[in-house]
Amino acid sequence: MRKRGAYAGNSCLVRRPVNQNQESEARMSELSKAIIRECMKGKADDVVVGVETSENSQVKFSNNKIITTENSKSTNVMVFVSMKKRVVLTTIKDATMSAAVKSAKDLIKFAKTLPKNNDYRGIADGPFKYRKLNTEKLDFDSVSLKGIQSVKDAIKLASQKGAHRVAGIWEASKTRTELHSTGDVSAQDEGATFYFSMRAFTNEKSSGHSVCSATGLKELKIDSSVKEATDIAKQSRGAGTLEPGNYDVLFYPLAAANLADNAGHGTSIFAVESGMSFFAGKLGTKVASENFSMHDDATDESGIGSRRFDLEGVPTQNTPLIVNGILKNFLHNTSTAKKYRTKTNAHAGLVSPEPMNLIVDGGNVNKDSLISSMKRGLVVTNLWYTRFQNSATGDFSTVPRDGAFEVINGKLRPVKDIRVSDNLALMLMRVKQACNDSRWIIGWEVETPTKTPSLLIKDVRVTRSTG
Amino acid sequence: PVREPVLELTTPKLYSSVDAAANNTEFHAGTCGKGEPMQGIPVWFGGPSIRIRKVRLG
C-alpha cells in the first residue's frame, strides 16, 4: 500500500508533537473498525480496511534551478467488501468518521447490485505474527530541508562534471499503514522511502538519465546518480544513425528494470487469467535462459517496496519467480491460491496480486569489461514507452532514450532514433550475461521497485523509422 | 487479414503521407498523465479514419 507520490494537497512545514501522532494512529484504528462494523451491519461476509497515512516532501528542479518545493500529507482508506460473492473495492479519500461510515453504507448498497464472482474464495484467516519493524526515526521537517540542500549540491556537481543543464526530482515519503479485516487481522506497518532522479543535458540532443532510491536517507546515492547521468550525456554527443538489425544489447539497470518489471507483472495470476501474460500455461517450464533468475521479496528492506504484510494482512515472504530460467510461481492472494489449490504467497492485491520488490539475480562480470570484450553490439541506458502489441505472446516495442551506443570492438559510438521491436518472452530466453552492478530502480517507466544488474541479451531486434 | 503489422514513422512523415480522410470522425475520452508526482488530466481525442500512402510496414 506504500505508494510513492500519493499527494493529497499542500501543507506548511509543521512540527507534530509525538502525542498527536499517537492520537492520529488511534483515530485511524477506530475508523477502520467503524467501517467494518458498518459493513457487517449491512450483512457483508468479508471486509478488509486498510488506512495509509503519508507525509511527503518533494523538490523539483529544472534548468539548473529548484522550481518547486512541496510538503503534503495524505490519507487513503482502502475498503474491500464481499457479500455472497459480490465483490467490491474502493478507496476513500475523506478520512473523517462521518464520510467513512457513509462510504461504507454506499458500498454495501452498491455491492448488492453486482453480479456474483464465483471465483471468489475468501480472505486470509489471521491473526498473524509479523517481523520486527526497523523504522528509522524521521524528523520530516529536517528531512525536507536536507532535500533542498541535496538538490542544490547535485545541480552544482552536475555542472562541475560538464552538464549544461539538469532537471529532476528529489522525494521523501513517510508512510504508516493500518490494516484490519474480518479475518481477525490487525496489523501496522511504517516506513520511509527516498528517491532521486536526474536527467542531464550537454546539448539539446545529448542526455543521460539516472535514478536512485533507498529506505534510509544515508543510503540514497545521489552523487553516483549525478555522475552517471552526466557521463552518459557527455558520451552521447554527436549521435549518428544505426542500421536496423539484430544486435547483442547490454541494457543498463535503468533499462533492464523496465523489461524485468513488465515480466514481473506477467507473473500475477490476474494477468494470466485475463490473457495479459506470456507466462500462461508455463508454470514449471523453461521461460528464460539459465542465466536469468528473478524473485519478489517484500522482506528485503533495502527496497522501497518492502512491507510487513500484503493487502489482506498475510506476512510477506520471498517468492522465487524464475529460477535459472524455470518459472516457479505465479503471484497469488488467498482467494486465487484456493482456486489453484496452492497457498497464498502474500501478494494481495485483493483483485490483482502484484509484485512488490522485484530482484533479478546479478552476475560476476564487470560491465565495462563486458563492453570492452564486445565485438559488435549495442548499449542501451534507458527505455521509454514500453508497450505491448500482444501481452499474451510478448510482442512489444520500446524506445531507447537518452544515451544509446553502438559497440564496435569494445568502443562506443553514440546513436539515436532507434527502437527495440522484439518479443519479451523470447528475449528472456536470450539473456546471455548478468553483470555485477545491481541497483534498485523505480520511476515513471518502472512501476515496481526493481533491483537489477545490467543484462546482456543476444540478438535483439532493433529498428528505426521508415520515414 | 494480417496480424500485428508494425508502423514506425516520424511524425512529419506520418502527417505528410495522409492523402485522404473519411467522414467517420469519432472521439474518445482518456487521461493524459505525467509522473513525479503522478497526475492525470482528462482529455478528449479522436478524428476520422485516414489513408496514408507509400509507407513501409515492418
Question: What integer pLDDT is reported at residue A141 of this predicted model?
Answer: 78
Establish how many alpha carbons lie within 13 A of residue A411's alpha carbon, considering only the half-sphere containing its beta carbon.
Answer: 3
Distance from CA of B32 to the nearest CA of A (A): 14
Question: What integer pLDDT is reported at residue A48 of this predicted model?
Answer: 98
Element (H, E) at A160: helix A140-160
Give the separation between CA A327 and CA A330, rounded to whole angstroms: 8
What are the tens digits of pLDDT across the range A325-378? 999 999 999 999 999 999 999 999 999 999 999 999 999 999 999 999 999 999
Helix (H, G, I), strand (E, B) or coil at A13: coil
Q: Which residues contact B49 (CB under 8 A, 6 or more apart)?
A: B21, B22, B24
Confidence of residue A8 (pLDDT cuts 50, 70, 90): very low
Dihedral sign (CA A379, A385, A388, A394): positive
The yes-or-no verdict on residue A15 having pLDDT over 50 is no
Preferred mutation among A70, A169, A466 to probe B, highest tally of B CBs within 10 A:
A466
Q: Write down the pTM of the prediction.
A: 0.92
Distance from CA of A421 to the nearest CA of B (A): 9
Question: What integer pLDDT is reported at residue A25 of this predicted model?
Answer: 76
Question: What integer pLDDT is reported at residue A18 of this predicted model?
Answer: 36
* CA distances to A14, A165, B34 from A170, in Å: 20, 16, 16
The yes-or-no verdict on residue A170 having pLDDT over 70 is yes
Q: Which CATH class is domain A13-230?
A: alpha beta
Q: Is omega for the bond preceding A127 within 30 degrees of 0, making it cis?
A: yes
| Contact status of B52 with chain A (Cβ, < 8 Å) | no
- The partner residue sitting opposite B58, judged by closest CB among A5, A171, A463, is A463
The yes-or-no verdict on residue A13 having pLDDT over 90 is no
CB atoms A421 and B17 under 8 Å: no
Q: Where are the CATH 3.30.2290.10 domain residues in chain A?
A: 13-230
The count of residues in chain A is: 467
Residues of A in contact with B17 (CB under 8 A): 467
Distance from CA of B22 to the nearest CA of A (A): 24
- The partner residue sitting opposite A5, judged by closest CB among B9, B13, B36, is B36
Distance from CA of A338 to the nearest CA of B (A): 35
The yes-or-no verdict on residue A10 having pLDDT over 60 is no
Give the separation between CA A8 and CA A135, rounded to whole angstroms: 24
C-alpha cell of residue A309: 504484510
ipTM reported for the complex, 2 dp: 0.86
The count of residues in chain B is: 58
Single-letter amino acid code for the residue at A397:
S
Q: Which residues contact B26 (CB under 8 A, 6 or more apart)?
A: B46, B47, B48
- Kindly state the average pLDDT of the residues A405-420: 97
CB atoms A444 and B35 under 8 Å: yes
| Contact status of B37 with chain A (Cβ, < 8 Å) | yes
Q: What is the mean pLDDT of chain A?
A: 92
Give the separation between CA A402 and CA A238, rounded to whole angstroms: 12
Give the separation between CA A319 and CA A296, rounded to whole angstroms: 5
Question: What integer pLDDT is reported at residue A11 of this predicted model?
Answer: 29
Residues of B in contact with A463 (CB under 8 A): 6, 8, 58
Could you say which DSSP state residue A434 is in? E
C-alpha cell of residue A433: 550475461
| Contact status of A17 with chain B (Cβ, < 8 Å) | no
Helix (H, G, I), strand (E, B) or coil at A238: coil
